[in-house]
Structure 1
Amino acid sequence: MQATLLRGVDLLWQSAVTGFYFTKSDLKTTLVPITCFAIAAAPMTELSRLPHIMFWIWIHLLQFDVSNQTLEPEEDMVNKGDRPIPSGRMTFRDALILRWLLIPTCFIYSAMYSIETFYASVSLVAFTVIYNEMAAHAGHFIVRNVVNAAGFASFEAGATLVAGSDPHILDGIAVLSICCSAGIFATTIQAQDFKDEHGDRMIGRQTIPIVLPSIARYTVIVPLLLWSGGLSMTWHLNPLISTAFLSLALFVGTRFLKYKSVPADQVSFYWYNVWLSIAHSLPGYYRMYRQV
């Protein structure tokens, strides 16, 4: 009996570790910013909602990442060897089975909150299929950015519904927040492509750094500054906070312009996600400001 229990605990632990390695590279780019977004946009009324938000985001992120990592596992063999398939933690066949089992899992889990959350899950899964299995990720950067933005909007809608006191309703601030965020992703998500340029060339992706190398880095700093100014006005930031937010955008954009090695681009992308998390938190500032 004790041996069976220990084997069960070990299996659960190994499954959790495997899930972590599937999603590891996207925890800072998706889990953290969208959690910040949901807390601010809903707003979150009780701290007990936080695990619900994070798990809803994570299980859908796992669905996306398993789909993505079963498309071209040979690419991960070269530069992402700690992922479950190249590391041997999971076979390609088992990963494919997991990929399709996760879809009904996400649907059922979302339906436990509300029909609206279920719709957000369906939308997110649909954009996952378009992006991965239908190869939008390998298409022109405009298509790639738009599908990315739509997928993130679905993420945010579902997470915000889970965070709020009523999982059936998104109020006007939440809807405006999602629209702003979709615009940010559509115009700045190329920040993630600089560090992956070598691998993207190998598989024929048409990202901005590849298609428009002479102006690619300016497509980060200009939108960041414009969005920082626009969000400052939209969410009524006071002059001090607005200046700090604009300064951060200038710092991030300048890093992309000045430092062009792969390690430097990885650090710059980290700072982009710091800016993004703050941008996603601004609706919460507005709610507090409006109540004062």
Structure 2
Amino acid sequence: MGLSDMIRALARPLYTLLLFTKSDIKTTVIPVTSLAAAGAPLAAPGRIIHVIFWIWLHVLQFDVSNQTMDPEEDAQNKRDRPLPAGRITLANALLLRWLLVPICFSISVLYSTQTFHASVALVALTIIYNELAAHRMHWAIRNAVNALGFASFEVGATLVAGTDPTRLDSVGMHSVLISAGIFASTIHAQDFKDTEGDRAIGRQTIPIMLPAYARLTVIIPLFLWSSGLSVFWQLNPMLGLLFIALCGWRSIGTMFGCLQLMRSRHTIEHLFSIAQHCSCEIISNSSSLHTPRLRAHTYLQWS
């Protein structure tokens, strides 16, 4: 077999793996990488490759699990995914789903025991969310599981990125805790886009349970987080106003039902998601060398 034949043989399965995670590159891989790079501090520029791969591998573990739960629904709404597209059988996808667990553990333990613990937490939360059907439970449970899941992603990624993979410093810890709080209080924003589908399967979401106040449950926390964090991270006034303005731009879209219009501007949306999730401010490190580093400033990013 020649080199070109080997490349072609590998291209299909690799592309299939990419398709499993396609929708989460923008919503998880890029924002969490940004937070990890800002909050670690980054050990070396090349470490970003490690961070991206660690996050993507765990996203793959989650997505394969999620997409084997109800492939019939994907066959109707998301036909480009590997299962409805016929790129992989359900039996093989289930095999892949459980093979990915020890792979994630093995890669994580190479960095540190603490990174391994983050991987274990992610796998456990994946099982709770998918196999134990937390995604169909009350919105408060789903918000909590989602927030803990993102916190696990961020802890693991920040450990991989940092000079010391066994601990988070105060900036990294604050970044993860704040991010978890933001997700717990606002991630239900994603429920606005499929209220009819959620109602059909009996899912309890805020837009369904509290239709008159649902949008305010996103807008008010978003403004509070944006304003409060600008003060907490001691941003200069202009940068603080910029992020509050971004919050207002998003909030107007939510209030007036312009989410579809906002999504069509995918390039701007993509850049704002990164900026809102992790703005950076140069500060002095607490070490004797006073080496400049990046301070993470976490904000909500919407899918």
TM-score relative to the length of structure 2: 0.89
Deviation sequence 1:249-281 (CA, Å, 0-9, x none)? 0110110111257x3474599877655532432
Q: What is the rounded CA distance, in whole Å, between the counterparts of 1:140 and 1:268 in structure 2?
A: 32
One-letter amino acid matched to 1:16:
L
**In 2: Cα distance, 1:64 partner to 1:168 partner:** 24
Q: Name the amino acid aligned to 2:49.
A: P
Between the aligned partners of 2:34 and 2:182, the Cα distance in structure 1 is 15
1:154-165 mapped onto 2 (5 Å cutoff): 154-165=152-163
- Relative to structure 2, which stretch is displaced further, 8-17 or 226-235? 8-17
| Change in CA separation of 1:23 and 1:274 when aligned onto 2, cut-off 3 Å | same
The 8 Å contact of residues 145 and 190 in structure 1, kept in 2 or not, is answered as yes
CA drift of 1:209 comes to 1.5
- Residue 281, structure 1, aligned to residue 290, structure 2: no
Quote the residue 1:186 is aligned against.
Answer: 184
Cα 1:84–1:36 change in 2 (3 A) is same
1:228 corresponds to which residue?
226
Amino acid in structure 2 at the alignment position of 1:191: A
Counterparts of 1:108 and 1:205, CA distance in 2 = 36
Q: 2:301: which partner in 1? A: none
Match of 1:120 in 2: 118
**Is 1:145–1:185's contact at 8 Å kept on the other side of the alignment?**
yes
Within a 5 Å distance, the mapping from 1:194-205 to structure 2 comes to 194-205=192-203
Q: Is residue 110 of structure 1 aligned with residue 108 of structure 2?
A: yes
SS of alignment partner, residue 86 of structure 1: coil
Is the CA contact (8 Å cut-off) linking 1:256 and 1:268 kept in structure 2? Answer: no
How many angstroms apart in 1 are the aligned matches of 2:262 and 2:203?
18
**2-structure distance, mates of 1:289, 1:240:** 23
Partner of 2:73: 75
Greater per-residue helix proportion: 1
Q: Match for residue 249 of structure 2?
A: 251
Distance apart, 1:7 and its partner CA:
3.8
Aligned counterparts of 2:44 and 2:91: Cα–Cα separation in 1: 41
Change (3 A) 1:250 1:269: farther
Distance 2:145 2:172 in 1: 21
Q: Which moved more, 1:153-162 or 1:183-192?
A: 183-192
Q: Deviations over 1:195-243 (max 9, x none)?
A: 2323322322212222222111112211110000111011100000001
Question: Which 5+ residue runs of structure 1 have no aligned equivalent?
Answer: none
Letter in 2 for 1:278: A
Q: Can you give the 5+ residue segments of structure 2 that lack an aligned partner in the other structure? A: 293-303
Q: Tell whether the 8 Å contact from 2:215 to 2:254 is kept in structure 1 after alignment.
A: yes
Q: CA deviation at 1:165?
A: 1.0
Distance, in Å, in 1 between the alignment partners of 2:274 and 2:117 is 25
TM-score, length basis structure 1: 0.92
Paired residue for 1:48? 46
RMSD, aligned CA? 2.1
CA deviation map 1:16-75 (0-9, x unaligned)? 211111111111110111011001110213110111000000000000000000001111
Distance 1:26-1:143 versus aligned 2 partners, 3 A rule: same
The correspondence for 2:98, drawn from 97, 100, 117, is: 100
Paired residue total: 288
Asked whether the 8 Å contact 1:40–1:280 carries over to 2, the reply is no
